[in-house]
Structure formats: structure tokens, C-alpha cells
Amino acid sequence: MPVRETVQRWVLPQQTWASGVTAAKSFTYKIEGRIEQIEVKINNNTGDRTLTLAIASQNGATLFSQAAIAENATTRYNANSEKGTQDASYDAFLVDEICTFTVTPSGDPGTSGMTADIVLYGR
């Protein structure tokens, strides 16, 4: 019988932007593990704006950076999967520290505003 590893899930604080707000938001979050998957859900916003997500280590090293994450969708970045596939833009990374997350909308989200939900999965 195969040994089953426990999967960890980190749900980050939801990020929101009101109509007319375009500034990047940064926050810190303690992560301990090997991050193998990142899931980003962005609402259907009237401005049709995408999102850039960047994750940096305590020392400022870029661990992950992705621009133009689609609105009105849930986008998943996989380091590996049971099918053996990997997204070209994503490599798993090890952390045991407080990371800085920076999320930046591509512009004014319009009257609907914009929300971004970010979830990390790892071991």
C-alpha cells in the first residue's frame, strides 16, 4: 500500500479593489512547505481587468511571478500533477518563512470592483 502524504492548503486573505482603484496591494503570510500548486480566482469585473501575482521570500527573492491572470476564471498553476504535467511558467518552491505577496490589477476594474482569491497547495 502506498504511503500517502498530507496535502497542506493555505487560503490567503481575499484582495479587493473598488471602482477606480488600481494600486497594487502587498501583504505578508507565513508559509511552511513545498508549494506545488497555486490557484487564483478572479471575479467577472466590468473593466475586464487581469491580475499580476508575485511572491517573494523574506530576502526579496522572487519565488513566483505571473502576469495577466484571467478575470472571470479560476486559474491553476501546477508544479506537478498525477498526470505528470507541469505548467511551463511554474516550478515548485520550498519555504519556511514569512513571504510577501503582491497583487496588482491591470487597471480600473469598473463598477463591479475586483476580487481575487488565492489558495496555495503543498506538502
Cα distance between residue 106 and residue 54, in whole Å: 14
Asked, for residue 34, whether it belongs to a domain, the answer is yes
Asked, for residue 45, whether it belongs to a domain, the answer is yes
Asked, for residue 68, whether it belongs to a domain, the answer is yes
Asked, for residue 58, whether it belongs to a domain, the answer is yes
Cα distance between residue 96 and residue 59, in whole Å: 12
Asked, for residue 9, whether it belongs to a domain, the answer is no
The whole-model pTM stands at 0.90
Which of 114, 98, 104 has its CA nearest to residue 41? 114
Number of domain units in the chain: 1
Residue ranges making up the domain that contains 49: 17-122
Give, for all 123 residues of the chain, the pLDDT tens digit: 677 778 999 999 999 999 999 999 999 999 999 999 999 999 999 999 999 999 999 999 999 999 999 999 999 998 865 545 556 567 889 999 999 999 999 999 999 999 999 999 999
CATH code of residue 114: 2.60.290
